[in-house]
A and B are shown apart, each in its own frame.
Chain A
Amino acid sequence: AQSVTQLGSHVSVSEGALVLLRCNYSSSVPPYLFWYVQYPNQGLQLLLKYTSAATLVKGINGFEAEFKKSETSFHLTKPSAHMSDAAEYFCAVRTDILTGGGNKLTFGTGTQLKVEL
Chain B
Amino acid sequence: DGGITQSPKYLFRKEGQNVTLSCEQNLNHDAMYWYRQDPGQGLRLIYYSQIVNDFQKGDIAEGYSVSREKKESFPLTVTSAQKNPTAFYLCASSIASGGVYEQFFGPGTRLTVL
Chain A contacts with B in 60-108, Cβ cutoff 8 A: 90, 94, 101-108
Top 7 nearest A-B pairs (CB, nearest first) are A43-B105, A109-B42, A107-B43, A107-B42, A44-B105, A51-B100, A46-B102
Q: Is A90 in contact with B96, judged by CB distance below 8 angstroms?
A: no
Question: B96 to chain A: which residues have CB within 8 Å?
Answer: 101-103
Q: Is B95 in contact with A108, judged by CB distance below 8 angstroms?
A: no
Which residues of A come within 8 Å of B, CB atoms?
9, 32, 34, 36, 41-46, 49, 51, 90, 94, 101-110
Question: A42 to chain B: which residues have CB within 8 Å?
Answer: 107-108
Asked whether B85 is an interface residue with its Cβ less than 8 Å from the other chain, the reply is no
A42–B86 CA distance with the chains assembled, in angstroms = 17
Number of A-B contacts (CB under 8 A): 60
Chain B contacts with A in 31-70, Cβ cutoff 8 A: 31, 33, 40-43, 45, 48, 50, 56, 58
A46–B103 CA distance with the chains assembled, in angstroms = 8
Which residues of B come within 8 Å of A, CB atoms?
4, 6, 31, 33, 40-43, 45, 48, 50, 56, 58, 88, 90, 92, 94-97, 100-108, 110
Q: Is B108 in contact with A49, judged by CB distance below 8 angstroms?
A: no
Question: A34 to chain B: which residues have CB within 8 Å?
Answer: 102
Q: Is the interface of A mostly helix, strand, loop or mixed?
A: loop
Q: Is B43 in contact with A104, judged by CB distance below 8 angstroms?
A: no
Q: Is A102 in contact with B56, judged by CB distance below 8 angstroms?
A: yes
22 A-B pairs with C-beta separation under 8 A: A9-B40, A32-B100, A41-B88, A41-B108, A41-B110, A42-B107, A43-B6, A43-B90, A44-B90, A44-B103, A46-B102, A49-B100, A51-B100, A90-B42, A101-B50, A101-B97, A102-B48, A103-B31, A103-B94, A104-B45, A106-B45, A107-B42
B61 → A minimal CB distance (Å): 13
A106–B45 CA distance with the chains assembled, in angstroms = 8
Task: Contacts A104-B58, A105-B103, A107-B42 known; list 10 others, CB within 8 Å.
Answer: A9-B40, A36-B105, A41-B110, A43-B6, A43-B90, A43-B106, A102-B48, A103-B95, A103-B101, A104-B45
Question: B45 to chain A: which residues have CB within 8 Å?
Answer: 104, 106
A14 → B minimal CB distance (Å): 25
